Structure 1
Amino acid sequence: MTATVPTGHQPAWWERRVVPYVTSWSSEEDISAQDLFISQHGLYYTEEDPQDRDKHRVLWRRTAGGYGLGSPRWRALHPQRQRHPARRQRERCALTPLPSRPSNGT
């Protein structure tokens, strides 16, 4: 089964179901271990990019492959796509802004 791959930040569809933006796909593989090394200061990639770490300097997994290709791995989150909505305080599926809280705090 082929997914309907979104353009921009619209959700992908697979077998008539919306696939959340943060979901990993079977075509995407973890390639972190290929360039990872340990030093006395912690874990590093041999050639780090600024996107490999967040603002707290936490090292994130690297992946290769294509979004929307293959089948969704429903229980697996894609590291970069997981970071994106969290950074921008958006909900996981369609990247639409979260509803604001009522002013009375409930």
Structure 2
Amino acid sequence: MAAATVVVPVEWIKNWEKSGRGEFLHLCRILSENKSHDSSTYRDFQQALYELSYHVIKGNLKHEQASNVLSDISEFREDMPSILADVFCILERARRAKVIKNTFVLRMRNQLWK
């Protein structure tokens, strides 16, 4: 998912209450119409959920705003718990990779300064 193009424009997040939430719901409704897991629309649906979650992690969107919209989206697909589990696992792997990278960089700096 990390190599995919951005599905959720930053403007939607900035204008979440005014129009962004509605735009996001509309996008998810369209992307969830194809129930196949092999389609590009399924991957775009996952990407949209990933980006929404990432904006929460970065502090650009409140937890409550994301959980409310996820509650609405859960009606679109029966397999939403599984999709969200996949998305959250990917987010956790990305977080761990960043921690490992930062630890490695710090150790290398410490070795160079000895």
TM-score (norm 1): 0.24
Which is bigger in relative contact order (C-alpha 8 A, separation at least 6)? 1
Larger strand proportion of the pair: 1
TM-score (norm 2): 0.22
Larger helix proportion of the pair: 2
